[in-house]
């Protein structure tokens, strides 16, 4: 098994993809809007991926946050609100906000599990900061670390109850970035005391099954390398200070925050301490190069992967989706537009 998550080119697997994935055996896959038509097509696609590997618990992930980051869209699937909605409700009714976040996440999980998706890149634990790039903005759960952790825990619990593994992101915190890491490399110059605020939610939820790194330079920790490529940030900050021992993946290698060839970046993030490299675009040349550049997955990373995928119960009785959505909407009424 190679320590990488690959994207797919289209709505079905090509013959070349099928043969390549069978030989390369990546740790998992990520899906985007380009891969999605409807329930039947999406379930057939995920079933095809499982059949290649013979693994019912195959890591098949998606970014289904709600709001502006939504891959499975209406009218086929329900609409889900962004994180900021639960932050607003917390201002007036904290317990209701936590319950609404849990119900919403469980509803998301049910829609994913129905089509064979096993992992969601949620929750964001990035602490929102005034004046920062809007790339986080309303996706975040707030500006107070305790609130972010409380709501983030509810999201993790809701996803798990629905049979889907959650990912805490973007470690060790993207909330201060002044530019969008999809477009350029953010450099955070905050002092160590300020950075403690950013890592606080991750420390609180350091037993989460999966985490994702940020393509951000933190000058107080490593002035030369973004977190995803920094052994110092991964080893000293994420693994030791935060205390996270779950499966750690990089953010997407194709983002413009990183410079260099995609295969070299994949090797770099794994060498720096990420368990898995994330490559989203589904370009065959890049994927072939990544497989050639990467070692086999380490025993420790494989154990983390197996533990994460076994952390949720699948196939259990679930409440109706409509009931979860109604519960969420009732709780959100005080802040409804």
CA distance 230 to 257: 14
Cis bond before residue 128 (omega within 30° of 0): no
Give the model's pLDDT for residue 146. Answer: 97
Task: Tell me the percentage of the chain whose pLDDT exceeds 90.
Answer: 90
Domain 2-315 - what CATH class? alpha beta
* Cβ(6)–Cβ(29) below 8 Å: yes
Give the model's pLDDT for residue 135. Answer: 78
16-35 confidence digits (pLDDT tens): 999 999 999 999 999 999 99
The question of whether 215 is a catalytic residue gets the answer no
The question of whether 126 is a catalytic residue gets the answer no
Give the model's pLDDT for residue 1. Answer: 97
CA distance 329 to 302: 39
Mean pLDDT computed over 40-45: 98
Q: Which of the two residues, 136 and 328, has the higher pLDDT score?
A: 328
- Answer yes or no: is pLDDT of 63 > 90: yes
Give the model's pLDDT for residue 227. Answer: 97
Mean pLDDT of all residues in the chain? Answer: 95
CA distance 239 to 232: 10
Give the model's pLDDT for residue 79. Answer: 95
Question: Which residue carries 């043969």 as its tokens?
Answer: 19
Give the model's pLDDT for residue 314. Answer: 80
- Answer yes or no: is pLDDT of 178 > 80: no
Give the model's pLDDT for residue 175. Answer: 87
* Alpha-carbon separation of residue 237 from 72, 107, 187, 216 (angstroms): 34, 33, 17, 13
| Residue 122 in tokens | 């949620």
Angle of the 145-161 helix axis to the 192-204 helix axis, nearest 10 = 30
Task: Write down the domain spans for the chain.
Answer: 2-315
* Cβ(272)–Cβ(242) below 8 Å: no
Catalytic residue among 63, 120, 126, 251: 251
- Answer yes or no: is pLDDT of 293 > 90: yes
Catalytic residue among 180, 182, 245, 329: 182
Give the model's pLDDT for residue 323. Answer: 97
- Answer yes or no: is pLDDT of 337 > 70: no
- Answer yes or no: is pLDDT of 301 > 80: yes
pLDDT band at 134 (very low <50, low <70, confident <90, very high): confident
pLDDT band at 177 (very low <50, low <70, confident <90, very high): confident
- Answer yes or no: is pLDDT of 223 > 90: yes
Give the model's pLDDT for residue 132. Answer: 76
């Amino acid at each position: 098994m190679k320590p990488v998550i690959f994207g797919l080119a289209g709505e079905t697997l090509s013959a070349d993809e099928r043969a390549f994935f069978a030989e390369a055996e990546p740790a998992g896959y990520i899906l985007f809007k380009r891969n999605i038509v409807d329930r039947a097509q999406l379930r057939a696609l995920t079933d095809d991926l499982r059949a290649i590997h013979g693994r019912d618990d195959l890591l098949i992930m998606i970014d289904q946050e709600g709001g502006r980051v939504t891959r499975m869209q209406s009218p086929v699937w329900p609409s889900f609100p962004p994180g900021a909605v639960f932050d607003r409700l917390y201002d007036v009714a904290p317990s209701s906000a936590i319950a609404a976040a849990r119900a919403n996440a469980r509803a998301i999980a049910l829609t994913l599990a129905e089509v064979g998706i096993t992992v969601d890149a949620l929750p964001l634990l990035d602490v929102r900061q005034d004046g920062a790039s809007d790339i986080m903005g309303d996706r975040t759960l707030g500006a107070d670390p305790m609130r972010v952790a409380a709501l983030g825990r509810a999201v993790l619990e809701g996803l798990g109850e629905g049979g889907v593994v959650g990912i805490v992101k973007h470690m060790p915190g993207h909330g201060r970035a002044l530019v969008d890491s999809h477009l350029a490399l953010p450099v955070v110059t905050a002092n160590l005391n300020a950075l403690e605020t950013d890592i606080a939610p991750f420390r609180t939820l350091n037993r989460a099954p999966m985490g994702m790194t940020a393509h951000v330079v933190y000058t107080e920790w490593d002035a030369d390398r973004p977190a995803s490529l920094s052994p110092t940030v991964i080893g000293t900050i994420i693994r030791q200070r935060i205390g996270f021992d779950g499966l750690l993946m990089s953010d997407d290698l194709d983002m413009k925050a990183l410079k260099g060839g995609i295969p070299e970046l994949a090797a770099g993030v794994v060498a720096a301490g990420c368990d898995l490299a994330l490559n989203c675009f589904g370009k065959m040349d890049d994927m072939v190069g990544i497989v050639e550049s990467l070692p086999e997955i380490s025993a420790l990373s494989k154990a983390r992967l197996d533990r994460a995928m076994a952390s949720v119960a699948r196939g259990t009785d679930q409440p109706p989706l409509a009931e979860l959505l109604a519960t969420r909407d009732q709780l959100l009424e005080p802040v409804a537009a």
